[in-house]
Every structure is written in structure tokens, then in C-alpha cells.
Amino acid sequence: MTEGTQPRSVKGSTILVVEDDYFIADELRNGFEERGGQVLGPVPTVEAALKIIEATPDLDAATLDVALGEGNAFAVADVLIEKDIPFVFLTGYSGWVIPERYDMTERHKKPARIQEVVNSLFDDET
């Protein structure tokens, strides 16, 4: 997770899921919703993610797939950092593909366990 203020509970929180793999996106959506979260997306592109962030002033957290189509999610990460919104990276790649400026951001290797992702973003989930 980034150094943003960690939301207390997934229940009642608004979470953006940025993921271009349908099955992983669906698993994340279901996992957050089963725990009482409201999921925005999942969205598969940087452009869609940035539109949601801009339109959602009460966004509590996000998950970012590092590789999206032919690009990456680093522009989304930069906006989330600027807005002090906590997020985690999900990736199937080695850590070296993530620039050093995100060293403080937690990463989960795909396929990530939803409970581990939830625990990274929310402080009262076990």
C-alpha cells in the first residue's frame, strides 16, 4: 500500500479495481463486494481509471494491475499518490518492472489471494 491514510474497513468503502484480465477483475470485485465494499469498475485502461478517479471524490482505495494492454498503470498510481488514496499493485511480472519511485507501494504477485489484498488496504480485515 502507499503511504496514504489507510481506510478502517472494507465495509462501506469505495474501491477502484483497475485490471484487464476478466477473471482476476471479477474475483477482486466479488471479494470486495462480499466484504461490504462498493467496487468501481473493474476497468481495463488507464483512461477509464483516470475518469473514475476524477469523478469520485470519496474514493477510498484502489488495486492496480501493473500491465494494462500495451501500457502500464503508473499514470494512475501517480494520481492516486497525489490524491493520497491508498492502493496496491497486482502483477504477474518481476518486481523490476515497477520503478523505484513506487518502492513503498505494496505489491501482490498474480494470482493474488483476495484476503491478502484486502489486508493490505484495510486495517480491520483479518
The domain that contains 45 carries what CATH number? 3.40.50.2300
Is 49 a domain residue? yes
Counted domains in the chain: 1
Q: How confident is the model at residue 6 (pLDDT cuts 50, 70, 90)?
A: low
Give tens-digit pLDDT for 74-90: 999 999 999 999 999 99
Reported as a single tens digit per residue, the pLDDT across 10-64 is 999 999 999 999 999 999 999 999 999 999 999 999 999 999 999 999 999 999 9
| C-alpha closest to that of 61 among 22, 105, 98, 95 | 105
Q: Residue 47: its pLDDT value, please?
A: 96
Q: Would residue 9 count as lying in a domain?
A: no
What pTM does this model have? 0.90
Structural domain contains residue 117: no
Domain that holds residue 78: 14-112
Residue 76 lies in a domain: yes
Q: Does position 126 have pLDDT exceeding 50, yes or no?
A: no
Average pLDDT estimate for 101-106: 89
Instruction: State the Cα–Cα distance between residues 46 and 49, nearest whole angstrom.
Output: 5
